[in-house]
Amino acid sequence: MNTKVWKVDKYVDNLENNPQVVDAAQYLQENEVVALPTETVYGLGGNAESDVAVEKIFAAKGRPSDNPLIIHIADKQQLNAFVTEVPEKAAVLMDAFWPGPLTIIFKKKDGVLSEKATAGLETVAVRMPDHPVALALLKKCQLPIAAPSANSSGKPSPTNAQHVIEDLNGKIAGVFDGGSTGVGVESTVLDCTEEIPVILRPGGVTKEQLEAVVGEVRLDSALLNEASKPKAPGMKYQHYAPNAPLYLVNGSPSFLRGLIAEKQKEGLRVGVLTTEESVEAYPSDVAIACGKRSELESVAAALYDTLRKFNQEKVDIIYSEMFPNTGVGHAIMNRLQKAAGNKIISE
């Protein structure tokens, strides 16, 4: 299969009727899968009402079929077709954070969406992306679009079109190049089917931001429980992993320098994921600054690109600093722990 590449300036007027957008939307209407930019990461989109399209998404990614997909919409009215109700707190959150990096879980109506898209669950995860190209495509194709991240399953999520091409060229119908994404980590997934909303996946909207709008919000106890049936994308299986084994280091810079020296004596090529403040502190073979520790949003934005850079550097082992488990740091640590398979070395 030849993978087509569309490119358009996301700031042009009347994007919905741009010939590139019209062409890509037609592919979606014909149940082909198309990678599209969002404000979080690139998504691999397909018609959420079609088993054929959803099967193509799973096949391209090599993704286990018991992992539900997020449904993307461009208009809140689309919810009426496939959810049984919009709880009051969900409506308030939609007004506050849509379009944006918040996915909300609703109870679903049967018989509308592909059962494969929702992994047979009684709920459905929905969001409205905050990216001009994604919104234009969604409006043009007039379909709910299922879209997990547009990468090979388990690998770091793609934050630009080149990442998508590296993983999926020849496996999908097309890639819509809309430039680099902004947030850099996936959306927050919030279950609004209970009285107190529950975060199933931390992401671009923080717990603190949610609580400022609707009061108490809980963190799901199963965030790291791999045995449970996933209610949301990203809750099961190792994700985001670079090619070399990744270890999180809970300790001082001198402790980390000792780990580096030990592995270099064994003849291994060592990489360190750090920040701009500390990139000169480590005598590793490859030290990559992943944003600024003083600005955790910059770490989130650079995280997946940094993990992919270590693949290009062909390191044998990667050590990563750890980050505060507050605000967007919670999402960063969630992704790093999954990328490392929960391998942590403590001082």
**Using one digit for the tens of pLDDT, what is the confidence trace for 89-128?**
999 999 999 999 999 999 999 999 999 999 999 999 999 9
The torsion angles phi and psi of 135, rounded to 5 degrees, stand at -65, -40
Task: Name the pLDDT band for 231 (thresholds 50, 70, 90).
Answer: low
154-164 residue pLDDT tens? 889 999 999 99
- Mean pLDDT of all residues in 118-147: 96
pLDDT (0 to 100) of residue 229: 47
Give the integer Cα–Cα distance in Å for 241 and 264.
22
Distances (CA, A) of 320 to 125, 214, 275, 278, 289: 31, 35, 10, 12, 11
Beta bridge partners of 43: 36, 149
Global pTM reads 0.92
pLDDT (0 to 100) of residue 238: 60
Domains of the chain: 4-219 (3.90.870.10), 246-346 (3.40.50.11030)
